[in-house]
Structure 1
Amino acid sequence: MVVTASTCRTETVFDYSWKHVVSAYWNRYPNPSSTHVLTEDTIKREVRDGKLYSRRLLSKTNPVPKWGARFYNNVPVKIVEDSVLDPVKKTFTTFTRNLGMKKIMKVDEIVVYSEQKDGRTLAVRRAYISSQVFGFSRAIRAFGIERFKANGNKASSGFNYVLRRMFPQHQMAATSTPTTTSQQSTQPAVTTSASTQYSDTAVAVNHSSTNSNSSSSKTEALKRTAKIGYEFCKCHASKITQLFSVRN
Protein backbone atom coordinates (compact mmCIF):
# COMPACT_ATOMS: atom_id res chain seq x y z
CA MET A 1 0.00 0.00 0.00
CA VAL A 2 1.33 3.40 -1.01
CA VAL A 3 0.86 6.09 1.62
CA THR A 4 0.96 9.66 0.38
CA ALA A 5 2.34 12.30 2.75
CA SER A 6 1.62 16.01 2.77
CA THR A 7 4.44 18.32 3.74
CA CYS A 8 4.58 21.74 5.33
CA ARG A 9 7.49 24.07 6.13
CA THR A 10 7.55 27.15 8.36
CA GLU A 11 10.27 29.49 9.62
CA THR A 12 10.45 31.48 12.84
CA VAL A 13 13.15 33.91 13.95
CA PHE A 14 13.71 34.38 17.66
CA ASP A 15 15.33 37.59 18.88
CA TYR A 16 17.56 35.64 21.22
CA SER A 17 20.94 33.98 20.90
CA TRP A 18 21.18 30.31 20.01
CA LYS A 19 22.52 29.54 23.47
CA HIS A 20 19.51 31.18 25.13
CA VAL A 21 17.06 29.42 22.81
CA VAL A 22 18.56 26.00 23.53
CA SER A 23 18.57 26.70 27.29
CA ALA A 24 14.93 27.76 27.18
CA TYR A 25 13.90 24.79 25.05
CA TRP A 26 14.13 22.41 28.00
CA ASN A 27 11.85 24.73 29.98
CA ARG A 28 9.16 25.42 27.37
CA TYR A 29 6.37 23.80 29.32
CA PRO A 30 4.13 24.82 30.87
CA ASN A 31 3.23 28.08 29.16
CA PRO A 32 -0.10 29.79 28.38
CA SER A 33 0.06 28.91 24.66
CA SER A 34 0.74 25.18 25.10
CA THR A 35 -2.00 23.95 27.39
CA HIS A 36 -2.46 20.94 25.09
CA VAL A 37 0.88 19.57 26.34
CA LEU A 38 0.01 17.50 29.38
CA THR A 39 3.25 15.79 30.42
CA GLU A 40 6.93 15.56 29.46
CA ASP A 41 9.54 13.10 30.66
CA THR A 42 13.20 12.63 29.75
CA ILE A 43 13.85 8.97 28.97
CA LYS A 44 17.50 9.04 27.94
CA ARG A 45 20.33 11.54 27.58
CA GLU A 46 23.96 10.99 26.63
CA VAL A 47 26.94 12.70 25.04
CA ARG A 48 28.52 11.11 21.95
CA ASP A 49 31.22 12.65 19.79
CA GLY A 50 30.79 15.98 21.57
CA LYS A 51 27.04 16.09 20.82
CA LEU A 52 24.16 15.82 23.27
CA TYR A 53 21.55 13.20 22.37
CA SER A 54 18.23 13.23 24.22
CA ARG A 55 14.96 11.35 24.07
CA ARG A 56 11.81 12.57 25.72
CA LEU A 57 8.24 11.32 25.94
CA LEU A 58 5.38 13.82 25.85
CA SER A 59 1.62 13.47 25.97
CA LYS A 60 -0.54 15.94 24.08
CA THR A 61 -4.18 16.40 23.28
CA ASN A 62 -5.96 18.42 20.60
CA PRO A 63 -9.65 18.87 19.87
CA VAL A 64 -10.79 16.98 16.77
CA PRO A 65 -13.26 18.19 14.15
CA LYS A 66 -16.78 16.75 14.12
CA TRP A 67 -16.08 14.56 11.12
CA GLY A 68 -13.02 13.13 12.88
CA ALA A 69 -14.94 12.01 15.96
CA ARG A 70 -16.09 8.90 14.09
CA PHE A 71 -12.47 7.74 13.74
CA TYR A 72 -11.04 8.39 17.20
CA ASN A 73 -11.88 10.01 20.49
CA ASN A 74 -10.11 13.10 21.86
CA VAL A 75 -7.68 11.21 24.09
CA PRO A 76 -4.06 12.15 24.90
CA VAL A 77 -1.53 10.96 22.34
CA LYS A 78 2.02 9.96 23.23
CA ILE A 79 4.76 11.78 21.35
CA VAL A 80 8.40 10.70 21.28
CA GLU A 81 11.02 13.39 20.74
CA ASP A 82 14.65 12.75 19.80
CA SER A 83 17.08 15.64 19.68
CA VAL A 84 20.72 16.29 18.78
CA LEU A 85 22.60 19.32 20.07
CA ASP A 86 25.82 20.25 18.28
CA PRO A 87 27.68 22.97 20.25
CA VAL A 88 30.38 23.30 17.56
CA LYS A 89 28.11 23.97 14.58
CA LYS A 90 25.59 25.60 16.92
CA THR A 91 22.64 23.62 15.65
CA PHE A 92 19.89 21.96 17.63
CA THR A 93 17.70 19.47 15.78
CA THR A 94 14.57 17.79 17.11
CA PHE A 95 12.67 14.84 15.62
CA THR A 96 9.14 14.15 16.90
CA ARG A 97 6.58 11.53 15.94
CA ASN A 98 3.33 10.30 17.40
CA LEU A 99 3.17 6.78 18.81
CA GLY A 100 -0.60 6.44 18.87
CA MET A 101 -3.23 6.91 16.14
CA LYS A 102 -0.58 6.46 13.45
CA LYS A 103 -2.94 4.76 11.00
CA ILE A 104 -5.37 7.64 11.25
CA MET A 105 -2.79 10.44 11.09
CA LYS A 106 0.97 10.09 11.38
CA VAL A 107 2.97 13.27 11.92
CA ASP A 108 6.76 13.37 11.62
CA GLU A 109 8.20 16.75 12.51
CA ILE A 110 11.77 18.02 12.21
CA VAL A 111 12.85 21.35 13.67
CA VAL A 112 16.33 22.82 13.22
CA TYR A 113 17.45 25.73 15.42
CA SER A 114 20.53 27.47 14.02
CA GLU A 115 22.49 30.61 14.85
CA GLN A 116 22.24 33.53 12.41
CA LYS A 117 24.90 36.09 11.53
CA ASP A 118 23.01 38.83 13.37
CA GLY A 119 23.05 36.80 16.60
CA ARG A 120 19.42 35.72 16.43
CA THR A 121 18.14 32.16 16.08
CA LEU A 122 16.27 30.70 13.10
CA ALA A 123 13.90 27.78 13.62
CA VAL A 124 12.93 25.84 10.48
CA ARG A 125 10.05 23.41 11.03
CA ARG A 126 9.10 20.67 8.58
CA ALA A 127 6.17 18.31 8.96
CA TYR A 128 5.32 15.16 7.01
CA ILE A 129 1.69 14.14 7.51
CA SER A 130 0.17 10.92 6.24
CA SER A 131 -3.02 8.92 6.79
CA GLN A 132 -4.14 5.36 6.01
CA VAL A 133 -7.88 6.00 6.32
CA PHE A 134 -9.32 5.00 2.95
CA GLY A 135 -11.42 7.72 1.35
CA PHE A 136 -10.56 10.32 3.99
CA SER A 137 -6.77 10.45 3.85
CA ARG A 138 -6.69 13.69 1.83
CA ALA A 139 -9.10 15.45 4.20
CA ILE A 140 -7.16 14.19 7.22
CA ARG A 141 -3.85 15.35 5.74
CA ALA A 142 -5.32 18.77 5.00
CA PHE A 143 -6.62 18.97 8.55
CA GLY A 144 -3.19 17.92 9.83
CA ILE A 145 -1.45 20.68 7.84
CA GLU A 146 -3.78 23.36 9.20
CA ARG A 147 -3.37 21.98 12.72
CA PHE A 148 0.42 21.97 12.27
CA LYS A 149 0.40 25.65 11.25
CA ALA A 150 -1.87 26.64 14.14
CA ASN A 151 0.18 24.68 16.66
CA GLY A 152 3.36 26.17 15.18
CA ASN A 153 2.12 29.70 15.88
CA LYS A 154 1.13 28.71 19.41
CA ALA A 155 4.48 27.02 19.97
CA SER A 156 6.38 30.13 18.85
CA SER A 157 4.22 32.36 21.04
CA GLY A 158 4.72 30.07 24.03
CA PHE A 159 8.45 29.80 23.37
CA ASN A 160 8.80 33.59 23.28
CA TYR A 161 6.87 33.77 26.55
CA VAL A 162 9.39 31.44 28.19
CA LEU A 163 12.35 33.33 26.66
CA ARG A 164 11.06 36.65 27.99
CA ARG A 165 10.69 35.19 31.46
CA MET A 166 14.11 33.55 31.47
CA PHE A 167 16.05 36.36 29.78
CA PRO A 168 14.12 39.61 30.33
CA GLN A 169 17.13 41.85 29.73
CA HIS A 170 18.28 40.11 26.56
CA GLN A 171 15.09 40.84 24.64
CA MET A 172 15.52 44.54 25.27
CA ALA A 173 19.16 44.35 24.20
CA ALA A 174 18.14 43.24 20.73
CA THR A 175 15.74 46.16 20.32
CA SER A 176 17.49 48.77 22.40
CA THR A 177 20.77 48.73 20.49
CA PRO A 178 19.55 51.42 18.03
CA THR A 179 18.21 53.42 20.97
CA THR A 180 21.54 53.17 22.73
CA THR A 181 23.31 54.23 19.56
CA SER A 182 20.87 57.08 19.16
CA GLN A 183 21.52 58.17 22.71
CA GLN A 184 25.26 58.05 22.06
CA SER A 185 24.86 60.05 18.86
CA THR A 186 22.90 62.73 20.65
CA GLN A 187 25.45 62.95 23.42
CA PRO A 188 27.69 65.47 21.57
CA ALA A 189 24.62 67.61 20.91
CA VAL A 190 23.90 67.71 24.62
CA THR A 191 27.53 68.54 25.31
CA THR A 192 27.50 71.24 22.66
CA SER A 193 24.34 72.68 24.12
CA ALA A 194 25.90 72.68 27.56
CA SER A 195 29.03 74.33 26.16
CA THR A 196 26.90 76.94 24.44
CA GLN A 197 25.06 77.64 27.65
CA TYR A 198 28.39 77.87 29.45
CA SER A 199 29.70 80.29 26.80
CA ASP A 200 26.54 82.37 27.00
CA THR A 201 26.89 82.49 30.75
CA ALA A 202 30.53 83.53 30.46
CA VAL A 203 29.58 86.30 28.02
CA ALA A 204 26.86 87.45 30.36
CA VAL A 205 29.28 87.50 33.27
CA ASN A 206 31.86 89.38 31.23
CA HIS A 207 29.21 91.81 30.08
CA SER A 208 28.04 92.24 33.64
CA SER A 209 31.63 92.70 34.72
CA THR A 210 32.15 95.30 31.99
CA ASN A 211 29.03 97.13 33.06
CA SER A 212 30.16 96.93 36.65
CA ASN A 213 33.59 98.30 35.75
CA SER A 214 31.97 101.06 33.71
CA SER A 215 29.71 102.03 36.60
CA SER A 216 32.66 101.93 38.97
CA SER A 217 34.64 104.21 36.66
CA LYS A 218 31.77 106.68 36.52
CA THR A 219 31.48 106.62 40.31
CA GLU A 220 35.19 107.29 40.72
CA ALA A 221 34.98 110.16 38.22
CA LEU A 222 32.08 111.69 40.10
CA LYS A 223 33.98 111.34 43.36
CA ARG A 224 37.01 113.06 41.86
CA THR A 225 34.86 115.84 40.43
CA ALA A 226 33.11 116.33 43.77
CA LYS A 227 36.44 116.41 45.57
CA ILE A 228 37.79 119.04 43.17
CA GLY A 229 34.63 121.11 43.62
CA TYR A 230 34.87 120.82 47.38
CA GLU A 231 38.51 121.98 47.33
CA PHE A 232 37.59 124.86 45.02
CA CYS A 233 34.74 125.97 47.27
CA LYS A 234 36.95 125.66 50.34
CA CYS A 235 39.67 127.86 48.83
CA HIS A 236 37.24 130.54 47.65
CA ALA A 237 34.78 130.38 50.53
CA SER A 238 35.43 133.99 51.63
CA LYS A 239 34.91 135.38 48.14
CA ILE A 240 31.69 133.42 47.69
CA THR A 241 30.41 134.71 51.05
CA GLN A 242 31.14 138.34 50.09
CA LEU A 243 29.38 137.83 46.72
CA PHE A 244 26.19 136.55 48.37
CA SER A 245 26.37 139.35 50.96
CA VAL A 246 26.47 142.05 48.25
CA ARG A 247 23.46 140.54 46.46
CA ASN A 248 21.46 140.38 49.65
Structure 2
Amino acid sequence: MVKYFSNDVDIRTTWDLVVSAFWQRYPNPFSGHVLTEDVVFREVTADQRLLSRRLLTKTNRMPRWAEFLFPANLSRSVYIVEDSIVNLVTKSLTTYTWNLNHTTLMSVKERCVFQESEGRPSLTRLRREAWISSGVYGFSRPIQEFGLARFKSNQVKAMKGLEFALSNLQGLRLTVAERRHGVSPASKTQ
Protein backbone atom coordinates (compact mmCIF):
# COMPACT_ATOMS: atom_id res chain seq x y z
CA MET A 1 0.00 0.00 0.00
CA VAL A 2 1.24 3.50 -0.83
CA LYS A 3 0.18 6.78 0.79
CA TYR A 4 -0.60 9.51 -1.73
CA PHE A 5 -0.64 13.26 -1.20
CA SER A 6 -1.44 16.10 -3.58
CA ASN A 7 -2.19 19.78 -3.37
CA ASP A 8 -2.42 22.80 -5.63
CA VAL A 9 -1.16 26.24 -4.68
CA ASP A 10 -1.33 29.54 -6.52
CA ILE A 11 1.86 31.54 -6.02
CA ARG A 12 1.21 35.25 -6.52
CA THR A 13 4.32 35.81 -8.59
CA THR A 14 5.23 35.42 -12.24
CA TRP A 15 6.54 32.06 -13.40
CA ASP A 16 9.99 33.36 -14.42
CA LEU A 17 10.57 34.83 -10.96
CA VAL A 18 9.38 31.61 -9.27
CA VAL A 19 11.82 29.56 -11.37
CA SER A 20 14.68 31.93 -10.49
CA ALA A 21 13.79 31.64 -6.80
CA PHE A 22 13.59 27.84 -7.08
CA TRP A 23 17.30 27.67 -7.95
CA GLN A 24 18.19 30.04 -5.10
CA ARG A 25 16.06 28.66 -2.26
CA TYR A 26 18.92 27.15 -0.22
CA PRO A 27 20.06 28.15 2.29
CA ASN A 28 17.08 29.79 3.95
CA PRO A 29 15.86 30.05 7.56
CA PHE A 30 13.33 27.24 7.00
CA SER A 31 15.74 24.67 5.56
CA GLY A 32 18.06 23.80 8.42
CA HIS A 33 17.55 20.12 7.53
CA VAL A 34 19.12 20.64 4.08
CA LEU A 35 22.86 20.05 4.48
CA THR A 36 24.13 20.14 0.89
CA GLU A 37 22.96 20.62 -2.69
CA ASP A 38 25.13 19.80 -5.67
CA VAL A 39 24.44 19.99 -9.39
CA VAL A 40 25.45 16.65 -10.89
CA PHE A 41 24.29 17.26 -14.46
CA ARG A 42 22.88 20.14 -16.48
CA GLU A 43 22.08 20.33 -20.19
CA VAL A 44 20.09 22.48 -22.61
CA THR A 45 18.38 20.23 -25.15
CA ALA A 46 17.86 20.91 -28.85
CA ASP A 47 14.24 21.85 -28.12
CA GLN A 48 15.44 24.46 -25.56
CA ARG A 49 14.59 22.60 -22.36
CA LEU A 50 16.93 22.80 -19.38
CA LEU A 51 17.51 19.40 -17.79
CA SER A 52 19.17 19.26 -14.38
CA ARG A 53 20.03 16.61 -11.82
CA ARG A 54 20.96 17.63 -8.30
CA LEU A 55 21.96 15.63 -5.27
CA LEU A 56 20.78 16.92 -1.90
CA THR A 57 21.74 15.72 1.55
CA LYS A 58 19.19 16.23 4.31
CA THR A 59 18.99 15.24 7.96
CA ASN A 60 16.34 12.77 8.97
CA ARG A 61 15.28 12.74 12.60
CA MET A 62 13.34 9.60 13.49
CA PRO A 63 10.29 9.66 15.72
CA ARG A 64 10.92 8.38 19.25
CA TRP A 65 8.92 5.19 18.71
CA ALA A 66 11.13 4.28 15.73
CA GLU A 67 14.35 4.67 17.72
CA PHE A 68 13.45 1.46 19.56
CA LEU A 69 12.98 -0.47 16.30
CA PHE A 70 16.02 0.57 14.31
CA PRO A 71 19.73 0.45 15.12
CA ALA A 72 21.29 3.51 16.72
CA ASN A 73 23.99 3.59 14.03
CA LEU A 74 21.41 4.00 11.23
CA SER A 75 22.48 7.04 9.24
CA ARG A 76 20.47 10.17 9.96
CA SER A 77 21.40 11.62 6.56
CA VAL A 78 19.18 11.07 3.57
CA TYR A 79 20.47 11.41 0.01
CA ILE A 80 17.92 12.77 -2.42
CA VAL A 81 18.02 13.01 -6.20
CA GLU A 82 16.15 15.86 -7.85
CA ASP A 83 15.60 15.77 -11.61
CA SER A 84 14.12 18.89 -13.16
CA ILE A 85 12.93 20.04 -16.56
CA VAL A 86 12.46 23.72 -17.38
CA ASN A 87 10.40 24.26 -20.52
CA LEU A 88 10.40 27.88 -21.70
CA VAL A 89 7.79 27.20 -24.40
CA THR A 90 5.13 25.85 -22.02
CA LYS A 91 6.42 27.94 -19.10
CA SER A 92 6.69 24.94 -16.81
CA LEU A 93 9.22 23.62 -14.32
CA THR A 94 8.72 19.96 -13.44
CA THR A 95 10.72 18.30 -10.67
CA TYR A 96 10.97 14.67 -9.65
CA THR A 97 12.63 13.82 -6.33
CA TRP A 98 13.26 10.57 -4.52
CA ASN A 99 15.43 9.26 -1.70
CA LEU A 100 18.39 7.01 -2.50
CA ASN A 101 18.96 5.47 0.92
CA HIS A 102 16.68 4.06 3.62
CA THR A 103 14.28 2.97 0.86
CA THR A 104 13.20 -0.21 2.66
CA LEU A 105 12.34 1.85 5.71
CA MET A 106 10.58 4.53 3.67
CA SER A 107 10.54 5.60 0.05
CA VAL A 108 9.29 9.09 -0.80
CA LYS A 109 8.77 10.10 -4.42
CA GLU A 110 7.61 13.60 -5.25
CA ARG A 111 6.59 15.42 -8.42
CA CYS A 112 6.11 19.19 -8.56
CA VAL A 113 4.90 21.14 -11.56
CA PHE A 114 5.27 24.93 -11.52
CA GLN A 115 3.20 26.27 -14.42
CA GLU A 116 2.27 29.78 -15.48
CA SER A 117 -1.42 30.16 -14.62
CA GLU A 118 -3.58 30.09 -17.74
CA GLY A 119 -4.99 33.54 -18.43
CA ARG A 120 -3.30 34.97 -15.32
CA PRO A 121 0.43 35.38 -16.06
CA SER A 122 0.96 37.13 -12.71
CA LEU A 123 0.26 33.79 -10.97
CA THR A 124 2.16 30.51 -10.93
CA ARG A 125 0.28 27.29 -10.20
CA LEU A 126 2.17 24.65 -8.21
CA ARG A 127 0.86 21.08 -8.26
CA ARG A 128 2.67 18.89 -5.74
CA GLU A 129 2.22 15.12 -5.54
CA ALA A 130 3.94 12.57 -3.31
CA TRP A 131 3.94 8.80 -2.96
CA ILE A 132 5.14 7.35 0.34
CA SER A 133 5.77 3.64 0.88
CA SER A 134 7.51 1.35 3.35
CA GLY A 135 8.78 -2.20 3.08
CA VAL A 136 9.01 -2.87 6.82
CA TYR A 137 6.79 -5.87 7.47
CA GLY A 138 4.26 -5.25 10.23
CA PHE A 139 5.14 -1.56 10.57
CA SER A 140 4.58 -0.20 7.07
CA ARG A 141 1.29 1.52 7.92
CA PRO A 142 2.57 3.60 10.90
CA ILE A 143 5.79 4.38 9.00
CA GLN A 144 3.77 5.60 6.01
CA GLU A 145 1.50 7.66 8.29
CA PHE A 146 4.56 9.23 9.90
CA GLY A 147 6.09 9.85 6.45
CA LEU A 148 2.91 11.52 5.22
CA ALA A 149 2.72 13.79 8.28
CA ARG A 150 6.43 14.66 7.96
CA PHE A 151 6.01 15.34 4.23
CA LYS A 152 3.08 17.69 4.86
CA SER A 153 5.02 19.70 7.45
CA ASN A 154 8.14 19.77 5.25
CA GLN A 155 6.23 21.03 2.23
CA VAL A 156 4.97 23.95 4.34
CA LYS A 157 8.62 24.73 5.18
CA ALA A 158 9.52 24.35 1.49
CA MET A 159 6.92 26.95 0.54
CA LYS A 160 8.21 29.33 3.22
CA GLY A 161 11.73 28.81 1.88
CA LEU A 162 10.57 29.55 -1.67
CA GLU A 163 8.76 32.67 -0.44
CA PHE A 164 11.96 33.73 1.34
CA ALA A 165 13.94 33.34 -1.90
CA LEU A 166 11.22 35.22 -3.80
CA SER A 167 11.32 38.12 -1.34
CA ASN A 168 15.11 38.29 -1.69
CA LEU A 169 14.82 38.36 -5.49
CA GLN A 170 12.03 40.92 -5.46
CA GLY A 171 14.05 43.13 -3.11
CA LEU A 172 17.01 42.81 -5.45
CA ARG A 173 14.81 43.71 -8.43
CA LEU A 174 13.55 46.82 -6.64
CA THR A 175 17.09 47.88 -5.77
CA VAL A 176 18.27 47.41 -9.37
CA ALA A 177 15.24 49.29 -10.74
CA GLU A 178 15.80 52.14 -8.29
CA ARG A 179 19.45 52.44 -9.32
CA ARG A 180 18.43 52.53 -13.00
CA HIS A 181 16.09 55.41 -12.26
CA GLY A 182 18.59 57.32 -10.13
CA VAL A 183 16.98 56.61 -6.75
CA SER A 184 19.57 55.82 -4.11
CA PRO A 185 18.70 53.74 -1.05
CA ALA A 186 19.66 56.75 1.14
CA SER A 187 17.18 59.07 -0.60
CA LYS A 188 14.33 56.62 0.06
CA THR A 189 14.67 57.03 3.83
CA GLN A 190 14.67 60.85 3.80
What one-letter code is carried by the residue in structure 2 that aligns with 1:50? Q
What one-letter code is carried by the residue in structure 2 that aligns with 1:65? P
Mapped to 1, the partners of 2:8 and 2:70 lie a distance apart of 32
What is the match of residue 71 of structure 1?
70
What one-letter code is carried by the residue in structure 1 that aligns with 2:52? S
What is the match of residue 243 of structure 1?
none
Highest CA radius of gyration, 1 or 2?
Answer: 1
Taking structure 2 as the reference length, the TM-score comes to: 0.84
Q: Which runs of 5+ in 1 are unaligned?
A: 172-248
**Residues 1:96 and 2:102 aligned together:** no
Q: Which runs of 5+ in 2 are unaligned?
A: 175-190
CA contact (8 A) 1:61 1:74 kept: no
**Deviation at residue 74 of structure 1 after TM alignment:** 5.7
Taking structure 1 as the reference length, the TM-score comes to: 0.65
TM alignment of 1:130-149, pairs within 5 A: 130-149=133-152
TM alignment of 1:169-184, pairs within 5 A: none
Mapped to 2, the partners of 1:83 and 1:44 lie a distance apart of 10
What is the match of residue 31 of structure 1?
28
What is the match of residue 159 of structure 2?
156
Between Structure 1 and Structure 2, which shows a larger proportion of strand residues? Answer: 2
TM alignment of 1:36-75, pairs within 5 A: 36-48=33-45, 49-69=47-67, 70-71=69-70, 73=74, 75=76
What one-letter code is carried by the residue in structure 1 that aligns with 2:82? E
What one-letter code is carried by the residue in structure 1 that aligns with 2:70? F
Identity across matched positions, percent: 44
Aligned length: 168
What is the match of residue 106 of structure 1?
107
What one-letter code is carried by the residue in structure 1 that aligns with 2:149? E
What is the match of residue 125 of structure 2?
122
Mapped to 2, the partners of 1:100 and 1:42 lie a distance apart of 19
Mapped to 1, the partners of 2:15 and 2:155 lie a distance apart of 19
Q: Once superposed, which parts of structure 1, at least 4 consecutive aligned residues long, lie more than 4 Å away? A: none
What one-letter code is carried by the residue in structure 2 that aligns with 1:110? R
**Residues 1:16 and 2:17 aligned together:** no
Q: CA RMSD in A?
A: 1.5
1 or 2 for the larger relative contact order (CA 8 Å, sep ≥6)? 2
Mapped to 2, the partners of 1:146 and 1:74 lie a distance apart of 21
- Secondary structure of the 2:104 match is coil
CA contact (8 A) 1:103 1:132 kept: yes
What one-letter code is carried by the residue in structure 1 that aligns with 2:20? S
Between Structure 1 and Structure 2, which shows a larger proportion of helix residues? Answer: 1
What one-letter code is carried by the residue in structure 2 that aligns with 1:98? N
TM alignment of 1:205-224, pairs within 5 A: none
